[in-house]
């Protein structure tokens, strides 16, 4: 409870700086006005020689005290204005006030405050002004005559000035105080700037971390969109082809219908299972189905599924792997073949056929999908088709190309290098 109480006090202190500083300085200023004003009117006081009335002396002393101390209320919110008011009070004190006043300590404290909170130019200006004031104060003490009254209002005894020789030993301790407080303020400034820099850096790191999380989330969304596109587009194409073919074939051979419906059901069930695995990872990583992602070993099964849609596909595999390819590269090759064959079935025409060639080279593995159809896959450039293939290949430092063949048809080619090392 005590810790929370003090934490709340510190929070309020920082949130309301003027009130906090006023709670300190105003009672202290009132105490000085009540206890010191009468004593200072009877001390060494040059203006007594002019026979000023008592109220004028109190006005001068009160003005000096207020101008020295009251500006402390705004010393954090407006340190330059606070220092300017202290300078005005110091000038009145220098020419009209007594030699010593308790509020004189506010001069060096103001120098410290300028060095801590004010701009650099104001800090230097305040430091120089205080040094000049220290010199003028020493000159005023040693070069001007002083009057000691026998009572509060009559200057009976005149003390002659001691001379400029004594100005130096008087000014040295005052100047030393100014330098000391200015150095303390600069140390505080350095610490404050360091803390502000650390806070700024912390906030910057927080923003960068947030941006990285957003970018990672965007990448993950794009990856999921590609996966969903591959799964849905391929499966729906097979199901549509099977439904169309089964409808016409069932008229001549009713036994075809159950087999066609079974193929459609199996294809839909496989697509649904893949989507559940993919979305299950997003909902709950621990509880998601961890069935392995398809790879090169599933290519023949994929081609067999495509053939059910009526598309003739020939598969060739040449060479042997000399090294392992990167993790996830098999899934990339599988998806490229899946997407390319889906596009062939969708755009190449009814009489089209396709050839899939998987070739292991010394530098990596390449896959080529060619068709002899009359269609085009240009519309996929605006969606997830060819763009998705190109992005998948680039993730593994591979090369990708796609375009119409000179003699008709379309060609898709991708090459993925072996894993480094």
Distance CA 66, CA 80 (A): 17
What is the dihedral sign for C-alpha 19, 24, 27, 32?
A: negative
Within 10 Å of residue 102's Cβ, how many Cβ atoms? 15
Residue found under tokens 């994929």: 302
pLDDT at 420: 72
Distance CA 145, CA 155 (A): 12
Contact 119, 108 (CB under 8 A): no
Q: Is residue 192 classed as helix, strand or coil in its secondary structure?
A: helix
Contacts of 404 (CB under 8 A, 6+ apart): 376, 410, 411
* Structural domains in the chain plus CATH codes: 13-162 (no CATH), 309-421 (3.30.565.10)
Task: Report the Cα–Cα distance between both ends of the chain, in Å, rounded.
Answer: 61
Digitized pLDDT (tens) for each residue of the chain, 421 residues in all? 555 666 777 677 777 778 878 888 888 887 777 766 555 655 555 555 566 676 777 788 888 888 998 999 998 889 999 999 999 999 988 888 777 788 888 999 999 999 999 999 999 999 999 999 988 888 877 776 555 554 444 445 555 556 666 777 888 888 999 999 999 999 999 998 999 889 888 888 888 878 777 777 667 666 666 666 666 666 666 666 666 666 665 566 666 566 666 666 666 666 666 666 665 555 544 444 555 677 888 888 888 878 877 788 899 998 888 888 876 788 888 888 888 888 888 777 777 889 999 999 888 899 999 988 775 545 444 445 777 788 888 878 889 998 888 878 889 999 998 877 5
What does the angle CA 390 – CA 234 – CA 280 come to, to the nearest 5 degrees? 85
As given in the structure block, the two tokens for residue 119 are 């701009």
Q: What is the pLDDT of residues 307-326, one digit of tens each?
A: 877 788 899 998 888 888 87
Q: What is the pLDDT of residues 215-230, one digit of tens each?
A: 776 676 666 666 666 6
Q: Is residue 121 classed as helix, strand or coil in its secondary structure?
A: helix
Task: Kindly state the DSSP code that residue 298 receives in the 8-state scheme.
Answer: G
pLDDT at 335: 84
Distance CA 55, CA 52 (A): 8
pTM of the model: 0.51
Show the DSSP H helices in 253-307 as ranges. Answer: 256-283, 299-307
């Amino acid at each position: 409870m005590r810790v929370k109480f003090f934490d709340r006090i510190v929070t309020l202190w920082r949130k309301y700086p003027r009130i906090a500083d006023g709670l300190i300085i105003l009672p202290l200023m009132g105490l000085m006005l009540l206890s010191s004003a009468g004593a200072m009117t009877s001390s060494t006081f040059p203006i007594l020689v002019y026979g000023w009335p008592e109220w004028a002396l109190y006005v001068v002393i009160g003005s000096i005290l207020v101008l020295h101390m009251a500006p402390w209320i705004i010393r954090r919110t407006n340190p330059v204005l606070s220092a300017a008011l202290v300078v005005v009070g110091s000038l009145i004190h220098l020419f009209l006030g007594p030699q010593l006043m308790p509020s004189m300590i506010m001069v060096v404290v103001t120098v410290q405050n300028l060095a801590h909170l004010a701009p650099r130019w104001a800090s230097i200006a305040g430091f120089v002004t205080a040094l000049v004031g220290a010199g003028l104060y020493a000159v005023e003490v040693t070069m001007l005559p002083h009057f000691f009254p026998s009572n509060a209002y009559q200057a009976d005894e005149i003390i002659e000035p001691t001379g400029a020789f004594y100005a130096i030993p008087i000014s040295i301790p005052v100047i030393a105080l100014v330098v000391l407080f200015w150095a303390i303020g600069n140390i505080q400034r350095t610490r404050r700037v360091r803390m502000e820099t650390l806070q700024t850096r912390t906030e910057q790191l927080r923003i960068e971390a947030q941006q990285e999380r957003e970018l990672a989330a965007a990448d993950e969304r794009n990856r999921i969109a590609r996966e969903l596109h591959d799964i849905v587009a391929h499966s729906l194409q097979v199901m549509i082809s099977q439904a169309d073919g089964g409808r016409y074939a069932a008229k001549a051979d009713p036994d075809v219908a159950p087999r066609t419906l079974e193929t459609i059901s199996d294809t839909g069930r496989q697509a649904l299972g893949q989507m559940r695995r993919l979305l299950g990872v997003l909902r709950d990583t621990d509880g998601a189905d961890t069935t392995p992602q398809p790879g090169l070993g599933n290519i023949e099964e994929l081609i067999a599924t495509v053939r059910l849609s009526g598309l003739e596909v020939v598969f060739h595999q040449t060479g042997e792997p000399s090294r392992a390819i990167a993790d996830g590269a098999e899934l990339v090759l599988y998806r490229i073949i899946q997407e390319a064959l889906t596009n062939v079935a969708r755009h190449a025409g009814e009489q089209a056929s396709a050839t899939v060639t998987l070739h292991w080279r010394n530098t990596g593995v390449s896959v080529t999908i060619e068709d002899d159809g009359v269609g085009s896959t240009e519309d996929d450039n605006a969606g997830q088709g060819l763009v998705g293939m190109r992005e998948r290949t680039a993730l593994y430092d591979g090369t990708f190309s796609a375009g119409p063949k000179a003699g008709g048809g379309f060609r898709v080619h991708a090459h993925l290098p072996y894993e480094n090392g």
